[in-house]
Amino acid sequence: MKYPDSNAVPDYNKLSRLDGRGFVVLGGGDGIGRQTCHALAQAGARMICVDREPSLAEAVAAEVGGIPVAGDVTVRSDMIRIFEQARKEFGDTVQGIVDIVGIATIGKIGEATEATWNRQFDVVLRHAYLAIQIGGDLLAARGGGTMVFVGSISGVVSVAKQAIYGTAKAALHHLVRCAAHELGVQQIRVNAIAPGFVRTPRLLERLSAQFWTQVSDANPLRRVAVPADIAAAVLYLSSDLAGYVTGNVVTLDGGMNFVAALPELDPWRSAASPSD
């Protein structure tokens, strides 16, 4: 017996739009943040572009017709000011928060100091906690919304010399899941993206051309991510296309995390091999 789908067919293109919605992008001044501001603005969102460097916030805001705000997102008073400005600028249309802030401290566990540990957790985790706590209240008062955080593949698998960074990112991933659980009843969706290596301006300065070639060669797609790849995923998670997606940590590394650490060689002997 046939049971045809009798549900109404939505306008899927419309579900991808963010027209008139207010978004706050933390760490929006460069790289993934800049591309995310463009992605959301192109979908119709109104933007507050936040960066610690005023000149970066102003430059990106000018590109997307947004509002620049400078602030240290690891400081509670700054975050209260940022979200209060969002409330004043956007009123009841504040519906989205994207948090991209996070810089890796590279080094072995045994070489880390107390200051290194504390600084790494502040720059990866403290602002996310503040965004969920302060920004969550703002979204809840307006009937719900979305939060998207940028985690890391280092929080999923072990990456050399990134143990402390990876531990902080793993904690961020779990914070996202717990926040999705708590805030779901208020119609707030909370998700994260866990990228692999991305060709951001900061990493391009720090890593050699040979490294990028090696990572690309090891990737199933034979390329390394660019900031726009991450911004596109943020746009999806922020839109109504992802209306039933929450508590997810989306691995975005071109498939590298599921590839066995073996050399790219054919392990099977040829049928014509004389050594068979």
The values of phi and psi at residue 26, to 5°, are: -90, 125
Q: In this structure, which amino acid lies at residue 171?
A: A
Q: Catalytic pick from 3, 165, 236, 244?
A: 165
DSSP class of residue 90 equals: H
- Rounded (10°) angle between helices 227-238 and 31-42: 40
Based on the residue annotation, tell me whether 129 is a catalytic residue of this protein.
no
Please tell me the distance from the alpha carbon of residue 256 to that of residue 249, in angstroms, as a whole number: 16
Structure-token pair, residue 123: 């720059």
Distances in whole angstroms, Cα of residue 204 to Cα of each of 199, 208, 272: 6, 7, 45
Please tell me the distance from the alpha carbon of residue 146 to that of residue 239, in angstroms, as a whole number: 8
DSSP class of residue 74 equals: T
Catalytic residues: 165
